[in-house]
Amino acid sequence: MNKLTVIDCELCNSTGGVLLWQDDFCRVVLIEDDDYPGFCRVILNRHVKEMTDLSAAERARLMNHVFAVEAAIQELAAPDKINLASLGNAVPHLHWHVIPRWRDDRHFPKPIWAPAERAAMPRPRLDTAALALRLQQHIRS
């Protein structure tokens, strides 16, 4: 691993969003985006670029957290779909995006990083404390 990469890494040097939950392995943060309430990231706590850099047990552990976030968002936001994405092109630090989607959102059916298809639809914000609690319940189960 190149030390310069870690020094310059945005996700090594910041939480990466509003912290909802963490342990020694990873953290879950909320991305405050009015168009996509409940948009979260699951971020590995150490600097790793690819899923294959993890052991099989670590990959399973990380994905269990991604699925717990997906379940919590589904229960609280009731989106039409949830997108899971691990890109890392701009920030090569292993993290997963868990993105609630609605048929009438600005980008549907395209990815949220594509040009907008329509004007934003007002959406209610999720209660951060309720999301954190639901997330904790899913991670424990």
Do residues 100 and 38 touch, judged by C-beta distance below 8 A? Answer: yes
pLDDT at position 67: 96
Structural domains in the chain, sorted by start: 3-140 (3.30.428.10)
Query: In whole numbers, what is the pLDDT of the chain averaged over residues?
Result: 92
pLDDT at position 1: 46
CA dist 27 and 30 (Å) reads: 10
For 49-55, what is the mean pLDDT?
Answer: 96
**Whether pLDDT at 99 is above 90:** yes
The Cα-based distances of 128 to 17, 64, 93 in angstroms read 12, 21, 25
CA dist 1 and 75 (Å) reads: 39
- pLDDT digit string (tens) for 55-89? 999 999 999 999 999 999 999 999 999 999 999 88
What is the percent of the chain with per-residue pLDDT over 90, rounded to a whole number?
A: 78
Query: Going by DSSP bridges, is the β-strand pair 18-22/95-101 parallel, antiparallel, or unpaired?
Result: unpaired
For 26-30, what is the mean pLDDT?
Answer: 96
For 7-27, what is the mean pLDDT?
Answer: 93
For 100-125, what is the mean pLDDT?
Answer: 93
Do residues 135 and 29 touch, judged by C-beta distance below 8 A? Answer: no
